[in-house]
Structure 1
Amino acid sequence: MKFFCKYCSIEWDLKTFDAIQDVQETQCYVTLKGVSHHLKVKWPRGEINAEE
């Protein structure tokens, strides 16, 4: 699944929860010292269909 940091917008393609945790424990490059990456899911456009 693809993720991106809400602060620096770097994208990752992560497969496991351990990989997600490793990235989220890493300091973000564009924030104050001590602030870690905050990952959000990157949804491809047109792939989410609302149920009718």
Structure 2
Amino acid sequence: MPECQNCGSFVTPAYARVFTPDGMENPRVCPNCEDMVRDGAQVRAARSPRNH
């Protein structure tokens, strides 16, 4: 099963298919990483808090 590379949380195969680049199986961040964003090949803290 796919899991977040940042926090290790389980993600659905559908989420991984949509939010993971071709050739990768696991997304770099997931919905559980509230204040983290992808930045190129890295993951970094968001510049502003994410409000849901």
Decide: shared fold, TM above 0.5. Answer: no
Q: TM-score, normalised by structure 2?
A: 0.31
Q: TM-score, normalised by structure 1?
A: 0.31
| Higher-Rg member (1/2) | 1
Q: Which has the higher contact order (CA 8 A, sep 6+)?
A: 1
